[in-house]
Homo-oligomer: A and B are copies of this chain.
């Protein structure tokens, strides 16, 4: 152990990594069995749909999806081939692009949700009591935020 970490901290950490991995694999598997692409594709489409005008700059997508630049660049390559999204030159800043959601991408989003939501329910939500969903959501949100006031 470590002077700063108690048994429950380590147990929480281990469970976070193992549980996420197991549930995510189960959900991805359900999507694949239904003939759908990976969750990362869904995430791109969803972020674009939530955005104003159905388009975002690559760096905005990277921030929201926690991806590296080069990962996203190649993900967009594949999605562009399938006509789900489309790169567009940016007017304000000639260094940049917009990634735009295409109709086929909007359709895929709609088709995937029934399978995806059922998988989330089966492999994740159904395991907890009602109040625990909010409890878990709040706890995890806390972990994502800075722990202490940023020092100079």
Residue tally, chain A, CB below 8 Å to B: 50
Stretch at the interface among A30-38, A78-86, A92-100, A135-143: A135-143
Report the minimal beta-carbon distance from A122 to chain B, rounded to whole angstroms. 8
Interface SS majority for chain A: helix
Known contacts A19-B143, A21-B66, A66-B18; A12/B136 CB under 8 A: yes
Interface residues of A in 3-29 (CB under 8 A from B): 4-6, 8-13, 15-25
Q: Please state if A5 and B120 are interface contacts (CB–CB under 8 Å).
A: yes
Q: Please state if A140 and B12 are interface contacts (CB–CB under 8 Å).
A: yes
Q: Please state if A144 and B19 are interface contacts (CB–CB under 8 Å).
A: yes
A residues contacting B by CB (< 8 A) are 1-2, 4-6, 8-13, 15-25, 66, 113-114, 117-118, 120-122, 124-128, 132-137, 139-145, 147-148
Could you list 11 examples of A-B contacts with CB < 8 Å?
A1-B117, A4-B121, A8-B137, A9-B133, A11-B133, A15-B136, A15-B140, A15-B141, A17-B24, A20-B20, A136-B139
